[in-house]
Structure 1
């Protein structure tokens, strides 16, 4: 009986670790938007409900990391106009604190990238670019321009917040 105790403890530990790592992969679909106007900053919180209530878009395209897939989400331009309409540049921050800085709003309006929360009908998790992934239509009409490294560098994944100035 005493010989089984270490094996049971080891099994329990392994099960606990697998449950914790699975839960760590799931983060809520939400977005914090910091609108910086002069010396004032106000914070908008978009819950899952808020995000799903916005106009929804689909784009079938490739990314630097994946062949063609169908992405569903909301337009980044819609988030900017809803939360900080006077903004001229956007900084996007990921859960690992990686940032894409100073994306020009005029380019966002022209290219209409989406903040995707699903890929091929599956909700995005941390391990597969989620909860939000900035996706440009690389295979559409302006695809050849958008396939450049300038745009690939902007396709940030695991997005947690935006700062709009």
Structure 2
């Protein structure tokens, strides 16, 4: 049996107005979104991402030694802010790596769009400026190549479909 899940995450009855980025754009969200701040969709600079509520995931990963603290806004809160509605998220990294993530992952697993690792802001050489991380230790079922592959670093674009 197949279950079809559509995620409809709206900020409220009246969408919150997104400011325009002042600094360099680090993330563009486009596609099926209701809250935009540019012709490209919803663009975010580092300050805008840092102004969002911060969540933290402490977990081990295949890419780092030991337990690491990843902090930043959640994917769920970002999708809510842009009033996203769709079933899939096509994510693209700065190096052109692409992965398609079910939109339901935002609700089900609450991954973090990490801006910091162990309190230090991610630089490009550290997988920044954005690195989507799942709570691997809290949910051991996520410790598979499928979810490791969805943990995209250098995240630059999300297209909601």
Equivalent residues of 1:29, 1:131 under 8 A apart: no
Equivalent residues of 1:29, 1:117 under 8 A apart: no
Change (3 A) 1:28 1:125: farther
- Alignment of 1:89 onto 2:85: no
Tell me how far apart the structure 2 counterparts of residues 42 and 159 of structure 1 sit (CA, whole Å): 16
Output aligned runs, 1:1-165, within 5 Å.
Answer: 30-36=26-32, 43-67=41-65, 68-101=67-100, 103-140=101-138, 142=139, 144-165=140-161
Tell me how far apart the structure 1 counterparts of residues 141 and 76 of structure 2 sit (CA, whole Å): 19
Instruction: Specify the alignment match of 2:18 in structure 1.
Output: none
Equivalent residues of 2:29, 2:159 under 8 A apart: yes
Q: What is the SS of the residue equivalent to 1:139?
A: coil
Tell me how far apart the structure 2 counterparts of residues 93 and 34 of structure 1 sit (CA, whole Å): 12
* Cα offset, 1:92, TM superposition: 1.0
* Cα offset, 1:49, TM superposition: 2.4
Number of equivalences: 133
Q: Computing the radius of gyration over CA atoms, which structure comes out larger, 1 or 2?
A: 1
Q: Mind listing any 5+ residue stretches in structure 2 that lack a counterpart? A: 1-22, 34-38
Q: Which runs of 4+ in 1 moved over 2 A?
A: 27-30
The structure with more helix, counted as a fraction of residues: 1
| TM-score for both structures, normalised by structure 2 | 0.76
* Cα offset, 1:84, TM superposition: 3.7
Moved more, 46-55 or 151-160: 46-55
Equivalent residues of 1:80, 1:87 under 8 A apart: no
Q: Please list the CA deviations of residues 102-135 of structure 1 after superposition, one character each: whole Å capped at 9, or x if unmatched.
A: x111122100001001101111111111010010
| TM-score for both structures, normalised by structure 1 | 0.74
Q: Mind listing any 5+ residue stretches in structure 1 that lack a counterpart? A: 1-26
Q: What is the SS of the residue equivalent to 2:72?
A: strand
